[in-house]
Amino acid sequence: MFLYVVMAFWAGAGLVFNTRLSGMMASALAPSGALMTFIALWTGALWGKPTWGTWWVWDARLTSELILLFLYFGFMALQAAIDDPRRADKAGAVLALTGVVNIPIIYFSVQWWNTLHQGSSVSLKSAPTMAAVMFTGMIVMALGFWMYSIAATLLRVRCIILERERRSDWVAQYARTLN
């Protein structure tokens, strides 16, 4: 969810300030966010089968998370469908900013509706309600996902920059230094 907020921030900054790098950052963040959302839904289904007795229920949290996955896919598809990168960035920014409305819906869904999902186990206001071993594992995995997302995004944005600037002299010089 946070990756989508960051993606929407970069897309909005590109729309408002007309900066090329902002649109490139938004484009670079989308695949990592889609991957993390897919993993969350997939592992949730694996956990849900023995816990709830079913792979999927049309629960508010699950449905809004599935909508998030479709927003990521839609963002990437929209950008791929438009040939002009500047127009693609603007169209993607409008979609990303519209879709950011879904983030509080996902977060507060367990409070707003009676769902299968429990409330928050970790809060800034109180101690975690889970075992210390589970909390430590969760923090380590969250940091691992963040490090992956940062590294993958930086590599992707470098590739996007090189692709968009492929006819520039500096890219030709950069390619010569690699050989």
Contact assessment for residue 28 and residue 153, using Cβ atoms and an 8 Å cutoff: yes
State the helix-helix crossing angle for 60-81 and 85-99, rounded to 10 degrees. Answer: 170
CA 64 → CA 37, 68, 74, 95, 110, distances in Å?
11, 6, 15, 16, 11
In this predicted structure, what is the pLDDT of residue 123? 65
Is pTM beyond 0.95 here? no
Contact assessment for residue 69 and residue 34, using Cβ atoms and an 8 Å cutoff: yes
pLDDT tens per residue across span 67-97: 999 999 999 999 999 999 999 999 999 999 9
- Going by the DSSP 8-state scheme, the letter that residue 90 receives in this structure is H
- Tens of pLDDT along the chain (179 residues)? 999 999 999 999 999 999 999 999 999 999 999 999 999 999 999 988 998 889 998 888 899 999 999 999 999 999 999 999 999 999 999 999 999 999 999 988 888 887 776 666 666 677 777 888 988 999 999 999 999 999 999 999 999 999 999 999 999 999 999 88
